[in-house]
Amino acid sequence: MAPLVPYLGILLKGALVTLGLAALSLVFASVIGVVIGMVATSRSASARAFAKLYVETIRSVPLLVQLFFVYYALPLLANVSPSPYHAATLALSVYGGAYMVEAVRSGILSVGTDQWMAARSLGIRYRVMMLYIVAPQALRVTIPAAMGIFIDMLKGASVTSIIGFVELMQTAVNIRNTIFALSPIAAAAVLYFVMCFSLSRVGAGLERVLRYEDR
Amino acid sequence: MQVLFDPSLFWNNRTVIVSGAEVSLALGAASVAVSLAFGLAGWLLKASKTSAFRWLGNSYIECMRNTPTLVYLYLVYFGLTEVGVTFSPFVSAVLALGVQGGAYMAEIIRGAFNAVSEEQRQAARALALRPWMSLMHVELPQMLRVAFPAMGNQVVSLVLGTSLASVIAVPELTYQSQIIGENTYRYFSVFAVLAIFYVLIVQVLNTLWRAIERAWFGRWGATV
């Protein structure tokens, strides 16, 4: 353990990079989730089919393959060559977005159709109804699910090390290759555990606060 | 500008691609088997009456669920050589994926056990079935029915997880695709087809799973 001590600082920095990447991707994933989630609950069958295609495709392809696609194949398609960081953010956002769509969709569907019909019969417009009637209730379902997705994205961020983005996992592997000991990997495991476990506790707490059926 | 999609690429590399797909599927199947064993063990520990076992089961499940798979791949692959045990990349990957998948499996089994109502257990006891007979003939069949869809999702995520084994040089399909890509620079063709391969595998697994579910539990309806 002793040779690890000088490296603890950069390990912590790696953990912050991981958190930053996951948080930024979560923001983008939430935007995707809300937009496509509304498409997924719209009345147009073809729009719903499009949303389903996006969700099913992303969920049926490993995150690593999506990262490879963005990092290696996208430059051949369009004249862009994303840095590992940009590729990681894009892939993780699109990946998390697919799960977010499902969270938003189940949130919207948790609001009973009688409320939709009541709003419509009162002549309330779609946008107003969504914002003031559906959204506040849907969030009770969506927010706890989003916490779970955030934890998955935090763990998924480790995969971005494979395209050369230096976050916590890659930092640990680099240190291991310098001092030839297992302790950096174990330390990274502890850091991941601390981050994910505390987030999951927060998520469980939120779920308790937001639940209202059995009150 | 080269052609974006080049079918001849796949014909020229067909042996490598087929062997890669075989390794991917074998890795997936072996990981599922290991995760079932660890899932049962984890559930038994967590459901134990001894608090030390319960603590052990809880720690196992929480540790596995709150850390990324890559950590375990590296720990098993680098770590066991350090204590003098050397596994092939394939075995290391099966262990890492299976042991981590076991934690999710344990939670699925626990959920299924809790879903079988207490009355069923009491009824079995009232009919003088011993606890293990009640488990075998009354509870396990119903647990399987409850757990089956969730187990299907877990199988899918394990199969998708096998792509990570490429980092410890298991010659599965993602690894082979990377090599073909590096040699030919036809990254678009290679990774597009790789993605389609995974989509197809997932579709086949889902269809198969639903067919088995209908065949085994179709008559039960939704009742447990």
Tens digit of pLDDT for each residue in B204-224? 999 999 999 999 888 776 656
Percent of chain B with pLDDT over 90: 73
> Does the structure show a pLDDT above 80 at A1?
no
| Of the candidates B99, B85, B84, the residue with the CA atom closest to the CA atom of residue B158 | B99
CB B90 within 8 A of CB B170: yes
Q: Looking at the predicted structure, is the pLDDT value of residue A214 above 60?
A: no
The whole-number pLDDT of residue B161 equals 97
Question: Residue B83: is its pLDDT beyond 60?
Answer: yes
Answer yes or no: is pLDDT of B62 > 60: yes
Residue B2 binned pLDDT confidence (cut-offs 50, 70, 90): low
Contact A65 B174 (CB under 8 A): yes
Enumerate the residues of chain B whose CB falls inside 8 A of the CB of residue A73.
187-188, 190-192
Chain A residues with beta carbon closer than 8 angstroms to that of B82:
181-182
Say whether B75 and A182 touch across the interface (CB within 8 A).
Answer: yes
Residue B155 vs residues A67, B14, B162, B205: alpha-carbon distances, Å? 22, 27, 11, 8
CATH superfamily of B7-220: MetI-like (1.10.3720.10)
List phi, psi (to 5°) of B129: -80, 135
Q: What is the pLDDT of residue A80?
A: 86
Residues 6+ apart with CB under 8 A from B97: B27, B31, B34, B35, B69, B72, B73, B158, B161, B162, B164, B165
pLDDT in tens, B162-188: 999 999 999 999 999 999 999 998 999
| Chain B positions in Cβ-Cβ contact with residue A64 (cut-off 8 Å) | 163-164, 166, 174
B217, containing H or E segment: helix B187-217
Q: Is the dihedral of CA B19, B23, B28, B29 positive or negative?
A: positive
Residue of chain B with shortest Cα separation from A150? B66
Cβ neighbours of B6 (radius 10 Å): 15
Q: What is the mean pLDDT of residues A82-98?
A: 97
Indicate the fold that domain A2-210 takes in CATH: MetI-like fold (1.10.3720)
Where do the structural domains in chain A lie, given as residue ranges?
2-210
Q: Which candidate in B67, B156, B162 is best for mutational testing of the A interface (most A CBs within 10 A)?
A: B67
Cβ separation B188–A73 shorter than 8 A: yes
Q: For an interface test with B, give the residue of A18, A68, A74, A192 to mutate (most B CBs within 10 A).
A: A68
pLDDT at residue A215, rounded to an integer: 47
* Nearest CA-CA partner of B138 in B155, B168, B118: B118
From CA B68, how far away is CA B72, in angstroms rounded?
A: 7
pTM for the complete prediction? Answer: 0.92
Share of chain B above pLDDT 70, in %: 97
Q: Which of B2, B194, B199 is opposite residue A57, by nearest beta carbon?
A: B199
Q: Which residues of B touch A (CB under 8 A)?
A: 2, 4, 62-63, 65-71, 74-75, 78-79, 82, 156, 160-161, 163-164, 166-167, 174, 177-178, 181, 187-188, 190-192, 194-195, 198-199, 202-203
